[in-house]
Amino acid sequence: MMPPFELIADHRCLCGEGPLWDNRNKQLYWIDIVRGAINCYSPETGQLQHVNTDQKIGAIGLAESGTIIAALKSGIFQVDLSTGTMVHVLELEPDKPQNRCNDGKCDPAGRFWIGTMSDEGETGQGSLYTLEKDGTFSKKLGGLSISNGLAWDLGNKKFYHIDTPTRQIVAYDYCNESGRISNGIPVVEIAEAEGVPDGMTIDTAGKLWVAHWNGGRVSRWDPGTSKKLQELFLPVSKVTSCTFGGDHMDDLYVTTARIGLSEEEIGNQPLAGATFVFRKIGVQGFPGTRIKNDHYITPYEI
């Protein structure tokens, strides 16, 4: 039987992450955290493009202007993929040089949310921040270990977040106008035998799709009932994140990693680090919002 997934390009990341569908240009972006690479793939032409940022990268977001906002080890940058130009927008945590950016996303109002974590494995050193539309910057959560899995549900006014070692998805009340979150309640817990929750996306029915690091799958959950609804298995253990894309937003793209695998494990999982797509899975995601970045530009670049 044919596997239910296809490979995207003949490419392996050390730590593939942050898949992001560009609805305007019909392209898929994803990053390689360890190599500091931004990858861009066109399903229509089959062309794969890489830009190297020369430092660890945690997340990217697409801006209204057409540039990319990249969360790197040394802070937030604005990247022009066509020229490779990078402009430093701000330093996130100058008092925590051991930290780096981790998962981040643009919310439905156009704000960029970005989590941090210790790059040396210390627990509780990370936070979750928001880069507001006017260029100001605010802290949403503190005391996090590995900030991951951002998703917003405008219908139910919820924001979902994962601090990976807790194995939980926490639902917060969310105000799209102000970006305020409150009243966090765990709604899903991943069983120990199924790895730990990493990246996450949401479908138009308000159900959550979660990547299982060391769990070899993506699972779909109803956050209202805390019930698992579906699982999609992959031939690799370290599944990092997922997002919807394609002409009808019903293809599920999934990133994976090969970092930390032994030679024997890589022999058994030759596709580790590849990006996969499950086509036409019967549910749709939301086309992503673009970052309203007009106020980000610092005077330094002129």
Confirm if 133 and 153 have CB atoms less than 8 A apart.
no
Number of residues that bind Ca ion (CB under 5 A): 4
DSSP string, 229-244: EEEEE-SSSBEEEEEE
> What DSSP character marks residue 299?
G
Binding letters toward Ca ion, positions 251-270, x by CB under 5 A: --------------------
Binding letters toward Ca ion, positions 186-215, x by CB under 5 A: ------------xx----------------
The smaller minimum CB distance to Ca ion, of residues 30 and 296, is found at 30
State in angstroms the smallest separation of the CB of 164 from Ca ion.
7
CA distance linking residue 206 with residue 184, whole number of Å:
17
Residue with tokens 């992450």: 17
Catalytic residue among 198, 203, 250, 251: 198
State in angstroms the smallest separation of the CB of 117 from Ca ion.
9
Binding letters toward Ca ion, positions 121-150, x by CB under 5 A: ---------------------------x--
CA distance linking residue 246 with residue 234, whole number of Å:
20
Q: Which of 12, 58, 69, 103 binds Ca ion (CB under 5 A)?
A: 103
- To the query of whether residue 119 is one of the catalytic residues in this protein, the response is no
Q: Which amino acid is at 75?
A: G
- 107 scored as a contact of Ca ion (CB under 5 A): no
State in angstroms the smallest separation of the CB of 148 from Ca ion.
4
CA distance linking residue 86 with residue 14, whole number of Å:
23
State in angstroms the smallest separation of the CB of 161 from Ca ion.
12
For residue 88, what are the CA distances in angstroms to 19, 53, 170, 194, 302? 23, 12, 32, 39, 12
CA distance linking residue 295 with residue 297, whole number of Å:
6
What residues act catalytically?
198
Interface with Ca ion (CB under 5 A): 103, 148, 198-199
